[in-house]
Structure 1
Amino acid sequence: MRLVVFGWGNDARGDDGLGPLLLERIARAAWPDVSTIEDFQLQIEHALDLDGAEAVLFVDAGRDTPAPFAFAEIGPKRGESHTTHALAPEAVLDVYARSLRRSPPPAFTLSMRGESFELGDSLSAEARERLEAGWAFVQGLMAERSIEDWRRKAGEPARRTARESARKSKSGARK
């Protein structure tokens, strides 16, 4: 499955750097057919990066996200923004559909809960733990790279999914 992974945020704003930090790990893992794209924010041009992808994963930090993270399937939705900058993932999918006149690939978001977003803040202790939970979850996604599996996981409560991912990661490390 050809996968495009977007990670965005600003590490100069504390926990807002969670998306790029997780994306960095994904890039280092060098999974086949996985492309990673990092930016400070999503823009309309990112719609073109989806062309040819079989699936898309958007990773970022969220203020009101359930801890440790939320994983959901998303679809195209016209953005409410008055500008073409700082789009939501759903708006990027909408730009893709309108520009290329076809349905975008299946898309998912992984949003890790952040606590501290002020300029100059460092990554909080809670965010470090949530980054580890997100990383364990992504490793599970990559082990079962199928849309059906991802849809099933998107329907599960995040706490249970995070516990299962952490347990599998620990048992794999002991082998």
Structure 2
Amino acid sequence: MSLVIFAVGNPSRGDDALGPLLMAELETQSLPGVTLVTDFQLQIEHALDLDGHDLALFIDAGTGTPAPFDFYEVSASAGMSITTHALTPSAVLQVHAQLRPVTPPAFVLCIRGDHFELGEGPGEAARTHLQAARAHLAECLALPDALAWRQWQTHDGAARPAPERV
């Protein structure tokens, strides 16, 4: 299984640093079959980073996200207006779908953020949310499979328990 992980955010804008902080931790690990991509925001060129991968994960911080995080599958959005900067994960998938016959399943791990002020670090609540997201991500990395990940989707800020492994 080949996995690409995108972490999006600005380390100088408070809770927006959550994605890059989580990615920095991943960069210290030896993760076979995993490609890591970090940027301030998703760009049209990131569609090409999906090439050759069986699964994709987008990590970002979000306002209005249920605490501590939301984890869900995302798909390409046909008819979506695509510009050359600041794309959503759905838009990146749409660009890839226009270029290639097969686009990998993709998921979003959106960590609750509340304060995005320039020059600030992540707040205490955001760090608590990051800790919960880190644990969920570890489960995902232990079983990088779209079928399993679909069972772990959240929409209420609480991760569903991982199914027993056979």
TM-score, structure 1 as length reference:
0.86
Identify the residue that residue 144 of structure 1 maps to in structure 2: 143
Unaligned runs of 5+ in 2: none
Tell me the residue number matched to 2:49: 49
Going from structure 1 to structure 2, the CA distance change for 1:160 and 1:60 (only over 3 Å counts) comes to: closer
1:133-174 residue CA offsets vs partner (Å, 9 max, x unmatched): 11111111111222111011015753143xx58xxxxxxxxx
CA contact (8 A) 1:70 1:110 kept: yes
Task: Tell me: CA distance 1:17–1:155, structure 2 relative to 1, closer, same or farther (3 Å).
Answer: closer
Matched with 2:37 is 37
2:13 partner SS: helix
SS of 2:66's partner is coil
For the 8 Å contact 1:44–1:92, the answer to whether it is kept is yes
Q: How far is 1:46 from its partner?
A: 0.3
State whether residues 7 and 59 of structure 2, in contact with CA within 8 Å, keep that contact through their aligned partners in structure 1: yes
Report how many aligned residue pairs link the two structures: 161
Residues 79 and 21 of structure 1, relative CA distance in 2, 3 Å threshold: farther
Give matches, 1:66-77, under 5 Å.
66-77=66-77
How many angstroms does 1:121 deviate by? 1.7
What is the CA deviation profile of residues 61-120 of structure 1, one whole-angstrom value per residue up to 9, with x for unaligned ones?
Answer: 000100000000010015445x310000000000000122x2310000000000100111
Structure showing the higher helix proportion among its residues: 1
Note if contact 1:70-1:112 (Cα within 8 Å) is conserved in structure 2.
yes
Q: Give the residue type in structure 2 aligned to 1:137.
A: H
Q: Distance in 2 between matches of 1:155 and 1:60?
A: 15
* Deviating 4+ runs (over 2 angstroms): 78-81, 155-158
Equivalent residues in 2 for 1:17-166, closer than 5 Å = 17-77=17-77, 78-80=79-81, 83-100=83-100, 102-154=101-153, 157-161=156-160, 164=161
Q: Distance in 2 between matches of 1:156 and 1:46?
A: 26
Gap regions ≥5 residues in structure 1: 166-175
Percentage of pairs with the same residue: 45
